[in-house]
Structure 1
Amino acid sequence: MDHLVPLAEAWDSGAGTWTAKEREAYTNDLGDAPSFIAVSAKTNRSKGDKDVAEWLLPFEGDRCTYVSDWVATKMRWQLTVDPAE
């Protein structure tokens, strides 16, 4: 399992201003299924800390859901979305 929106991306998108408690809540968020994504180790390495402008799932049929879940996660946590995303 991996964070859909990686921790470094969340940090760059506003989590850097959060309290330690808010960052911990994000890190351990199990309240919304799209916050995490099941990926293979190989896919996880290729994804790294990239955002949706830099990396998408290999299977095109899953990309729409991935991007939709990405935006929903950012909105849920009030993180910024840059123009490239």
Structure 2
Amino acid sequence: MGSNHSKADKGQGERMPLAKEATCTYATDWVTTKLQWKLTADRAEVKALRRVAVGCKSATVKFTPAP
């Protein structure tokens, strides 16, 4: 419960995985979901995504818009 409870206190922009190798997958899944469901991103999210994107040169986001 401790780690999940502490996540609730953070914004999405602060919730990156601890494992470096999972960061790009997490970020692309995050962007895919936002685009698929036409969700907005706040400044903290955009800042975090830009920071992560620098290290994700080969990452690709593919999505189908939700109905």
TM-score normalised to the size of structure 1? 0.43
Q: By how many angstroms is 1:55 displaced?
A: 1.7
- Report whether the alignment pairs 1:56 with 2:16: yes
Q: By how many angstroms is 1:77 displaced?
A: 0.7
Please tell me the root mean square deviation across aligned C-alpha atoms, in Å: 1.8
In terms of fraction of residues, the more helix-rich structure is: 2
Give the percent of matched residue pairs that are identical in Structure 1 and Structure 2: 41
Q: By how many angstroms is 1:46 displaced?
A: 2.9
Task: Provide structure 1 residue ranges, at least 5 long, that are not aligned to the other structure.
Answer: 1-40
Change (3 A) 1:50 1:64: same
In terms of fraction of residues, the more strand-rich structure is: 1
Aligned length: 44
Q: Which secondary structure state, in structure 2, belongs to the residue aligned with residue 67 of structure 1?
A: helix
* Partners of 2:17 and 2:24 in 1: CA distance: 10
Q: By how many angstroms is 1:76 displaced?
A: 0.7
TM-score normalised to the size of structure 2? 0.52
Task: Provide structure 2 residue ranges, at least 5 long, that are not aligned to the other structure.
Answer: 46-67
Residue equivalent to 2:39: 79
